[in-house]
């Protein structure tokens, strides 16, 4: 069966403006999602804020350039993910619509399989 990564993106400004009760509600919403859709979830995690990211690029002389921050400086940043396994994209989209993402939205990416 195909697997999909559901990437949760947050608008960091919206998230920063949220109050503590909203985070409590969000946590509960993820627990409820897990209870309802856990059967298709293979993995899932929340991530620390994007300013804790470290980017690593190979340089031209065989070494690495290590920099503070995420790859792309965008309004929406990757905040968490679920890896799910379902029959086809329609089911993946149905699950993705149930993933709580009050500070942004989600992106659904098929996992590439090498044979």
Partner 1 sequence: MTDAAGRQWSEGASAAAVAEAHRREWAFVLAATVRVTRDLDLAEECVQDAYAQALAAWSDRGVPARPGAWLTTVARRRALELLRREATMRRRLPHLLTEQTEPGPGDGDDPDIPDDRLRLIFTCCHPALSVEAQVALTLRLLCGLSTAEVARAFLVGEATMAARITRAKKKIAAAAIPYRVPAADELPARVDAVLTVVHLLFTTGHTAPAGAELIRRDLVERSLELARLLRTLLPDEAGVAGLLALILLTDARRDTRTNADGRLLLLAEQDRSRWDRRAIDEGIALVRHALRHRPPGRFALMAAIAAVHAEAPVWQDTDWAEIVALYDLLVQLWPSPVVALNRAVAVGFAHGPAAGLAALDALAAEPQLAGYAYAASSRGAFLARLGRAAEARVAYEEALLLTENAVERAYLAARLRDLTEDEPSR
For the beta carbon of residue 39, count every other beta carbon within 10 angstroms: 8
Contact 81, 8 (CB under 8 A): yes
The verdict on 98 binding partner 1 (CB under 8 A) reads no
Check residue 13 for interaction with partner 1 (CB under 8 A): no
Indicate the DSSP class of residue 112. Answer: P
Assess contact for 32 and 94: CB atoms under 8 A: no
Task: Single out the residue of 2, 100, 102, 105 in contact with partner 1 (rule: CB under 8 A).
Answer: 2
Which residue of 93, 100, 105, 107 would you call a contact of partner 1, by CB under 8 A? 93
Single residue of 49, 55, 72, 94 touching partner 1 by CB under 8 A:
94
């Amino acid at each position: 069966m195909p697997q999909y990564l559901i990437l949760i993106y947050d608008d960091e400004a919206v998230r920063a403006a949220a109050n503590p009760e909203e985070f409590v509600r969000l946590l509960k919403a993820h627990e409820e999602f897990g209870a309802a859709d856990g059967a298709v979830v293979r993995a899932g995690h929340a991530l620390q804020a994007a300013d804790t990211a470290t980017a690593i690029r190979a340089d031209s002389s065989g070494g690495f350039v290590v920099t503070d921050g995420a790859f792309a400086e965008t309004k929406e940043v990757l905040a968490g993910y679920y890896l799910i396994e379902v029959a086809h994209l329609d089911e993946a989209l149905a699950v993705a619509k149930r993933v709580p993402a009050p500070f942004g939205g989600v992106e659904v990416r098929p996992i590439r399989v090498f044979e």
